[in-house]
């Protein structure tokens, strides 16, 4: 099979491509340049050079494409706009949705390949006449949470060669044995273009009033965009004699309200931009949802009309991804309103 292997210059994508070569596939290495200069931790000029060396070692064709304009518009600007409007963005989700599994997948088809392979830790396999996405075997490395926007139609065109890896040490061992220059590369950052976090990347502070549940000013914060719903730490040293959490933030007045945990927890969550890989309302099974990366799955009581009713109250910030599972299978997800 002719497969385009996305090479980032990191060890995961390198070994994913190496595994495909060893399986006898016709592999083409493709590097996506997403940022200008060396400011980000991946997908820049420097890592592109490493990706080329990987392709040379594997003796496969190599090409590079510049998606920096798309990345800035659809990932960076989108994240900053969400942040300024009081939402909690997830840039990795947007990068997978728009750049990797839309634009890069279209590039794959233009190159005449049958599939796109990446170094993501997840699984896709055929079950009778349909394709399913599942969590990776490694619970620690699993990245299925970031992949929920992948369209149902594209599952047949995507390959995740590292889905069966249970320990990252296995990947580094395979890279070393294969003579790949990425065997000792550091772990990639969760946020490649802003390794110190979005608020520091934003590069500003905008102090405002910190309020209690009665609307009384009890302190100051550094900007509504520096906190998220449910946050307990980093609230400017407010001492109320009990634990307090961010229960509300208003980007228009730049105020942040704190209170008890019960003040913001709820059972019903509404979703927008929903993407279902199968219809959850037709499943008479116990579903669960993850509301943050590596977070605990929470039991679901019912799903209908893009509303999830959980068994117990929980905290979800507007803008967060909510990903629904049946066991290890990814059913789909959406953005919390």
C-alpha–C-alpha distance, residues 161 and 43, integer Å? 20
Q: Which residues contact 13 (CB under 8 A, 6 or more apart)?
A: 5, 6, 7, 51, 118, 119
Catalytically annotated residue among 42, 43, 92, 95:
95
Q: Using the 8-state DSSP alphabet, how is residue 187 labeled?
A: P
C-alpha–C-alpha distance, residues 59 and 164, integer Å? 25
In 3D, which of 149, 141, 201, 148 has the Cα closest to residue 10?
Answer: 141
**192 a catalytic residue:** yes
Q: Which residues contact 326 (CB under 8 A, 6 or more apart)?
A: 283, 285, 286, 287, 288
Q: How far is CA 100 from the centre of its chain?
A: 12
A 10 A CB-CB count for 253 gives 11
**43 a catalytic residue:** no
Catalytically annotated residue among 42, 43, 92, 192:
192
Give the CB-side neighbour count of residue 224, counting CA atoms within 13 A.
22
DSSP string, 94-121: HIIIIIIIIIIHHHHHHTT-SEEE---S
Do the Cβ atoms of 14 and 175 come closer than 8 Å?
yes
C-alpha angle 305/307/311, rounded to 5°? 135
In 3D, which of 29, 15, 31 has the Cα closest to residue 167?
Answer: 15
In 3D, which of 196, 163, 192, 181 has the Cα closest to residue 9?
Answer: 181
Burial of 160 per CB tally in 10 Å (0-12, 13-18, 19+):
buried
C-alpha–C-alpha distance, residues 328 and 163, integer Å? 12
Which residues form the catalytic set?
95, 192
């Amino acid at each position: 099979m002719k497969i385009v292997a996305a090479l980032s210059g990191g060890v995961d994508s390198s070994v994913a491509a190496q595994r495909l070569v060893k399986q006898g596939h016709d592999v083409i290495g493709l590097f996506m340049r997403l940022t200008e200069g060396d400011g980000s931790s991946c997908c820049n000029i420097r890592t592109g050079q490493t990706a080329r060396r990987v392709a040379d070692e594997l003796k496969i064709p190599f090409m590079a494409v510049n998606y920096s304009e798309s990345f800035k518009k659809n990932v960076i600007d989108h994240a900053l706009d969400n942040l300024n409007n009081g939402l909690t963005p997830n840039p990795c989700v947007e990068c997978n949705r728009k750049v990797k599994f839309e634009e890069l997948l279209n590039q794959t088809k233009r190159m005449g390949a049958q599939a796109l392979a990446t170094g993501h830790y997840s699984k896709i396999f055929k079950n009778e006449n349909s394709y399913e996405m599942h969590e990776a075997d490694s619970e620690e490395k699993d990245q299925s949470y970031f992949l929920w926007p992948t369209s149902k139609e594209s599952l047949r065109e995507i390959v995740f060669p590292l889905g069966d890896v249970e320990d990252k040490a296995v990947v580094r061992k395979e890279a070393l044995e294969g003579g790949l220059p990425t065997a000792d590369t550091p772990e990639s950052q969760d946020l490649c273009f802003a390794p110190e976090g979005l608020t520091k990347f934003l590069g500003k502070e905008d102090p405002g009033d910190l309020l209690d549940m009665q609307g009384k000013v009890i302190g100051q914060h550094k900007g509504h965009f520096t906190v998220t719903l449910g946050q307990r730490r980093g609230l400017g040293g407010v001492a109320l004699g009990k634990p307090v959490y961010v229960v509300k933030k208003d980007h228009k007045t730049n105020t942040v309200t704190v209170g008890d945990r019960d003040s913001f927890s709820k059972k019903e969550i509404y979703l927008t931009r929903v993407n279902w890989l199968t219809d959850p309302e037709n499943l008479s099974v116990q579903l669960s949802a993850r509301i943050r990366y590596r977070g605990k799955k929470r039991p679901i009581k019912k799903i209908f009309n893009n509303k999830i009713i959980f068994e117990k109250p929980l905290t979800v910030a507007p803008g967060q991804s909510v990903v629904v599972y049946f066991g290890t299978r990814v059913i789909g997800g959406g953005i919390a309103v």
